[in-house]
Amino acid sequence: MGLSDDDLLAVVDAFGAAAIGAEDWLHALSRLAEVTGSEAGQLIGYGAHGQEPFMWTADPDPGWLERFAEYGAADPKINPRIGLGMRMPILRLLTDQDAISRDERRQHPLYADYFDRNDRPFICAANLVKDQERWVGLAVLRTRRQGEITDQQRAVFAALAPHVRAAVHMQRCWRIAAHRYWPVSWRRSRLPCSSSTGGAWYGR
C-alpha cells in the first residue's frame, strides 16, 4: 500500500479533531477507508434506555444506506456482522468469514438481497466501546473488486482502531464536562457535533 507514518498520523489526527468538533467524523471515516483500501468507513452503535441506534457512514455512494433499516441490517438478530460484533472483545477484529460461512452467505437474505446487490459484500470491524450504557463499533466496508481485506490492510485497521476508540471516548468526556461545568449558552455555541446525526449515544 505504500503508506508512510505521516499517512497514518493524518488519520489519527483527523479522528482527534473530530472528537473536539474541529473536523467532521465522516471525513475521518473516509480517511480510514482510504488507508485500508476500502470503499467506506463506518461507526455504528446502540445506547441504553431505549435510545435509537446511530450510524455514521462515509461512503461515496450512500444511496444504498436509505434501505438499511428496511432490510433489518441494524438488528443484531438479523445481521450476523452486528450480532457477532456485539459479542466480541474490545478491539478484536472480525470479518464476514468470522460471522458467517460462504455457503450461508449465499442463502442469507441480508447478504444476497442487500449487501451483495449494493456491492458491499465484505467488512472488517472491531468493537470500540462495550458496557452497560452503550456499544460502539468501527468498520470499513469493501466492494467485490476490493475483495476481503488483506493482511496488510488488516494490520493498518488494527493499528488505527485504538486511536478511533480514544476519539470516541474523548468526545464523550468533552460532552460530560460541558454539561457539568459550562454555562448552557456556552455549550450551545461550542459543543462538538457531527453534521450527520445527533449525539444521543454519548451518554452522560
Q: For 73-125, how does the pLDDT look when each residue is reduced to its tens digit (9 = 90+)? A: 888 889 999 889 888 999 999 999 999 998 998 999 999 999 999 999 999 99
Domain definitions of the chain by residue range: 5-202
Dihedral sign of CA atoms 163, 192, 63, 68 in order: positive
The pLDDT value recorded for residue 184 is 45
Q: What CA–CA distance (Å, rounded) separates 91 from 36?
A: 16
* Assigned architecture for domain 5-202: 2-Layer Sandwich (3.30)
Grid coordinates representing 1 are: 500500500
Question: Percentage of residues in the chain with pLDDT exceeding 70?
Answer: 82
Question: Percentage of residues in the chain with pLDDT exceeding 90?
Answer: 55
Enumerate the β-bridge partners of residue 139: 42, 125
Grid coordinates representing 84 are: 457477532
- Global pTM exceeds 0.85: no
Selection from 50, 94, 53 nearest residue 73 by Cα: 53
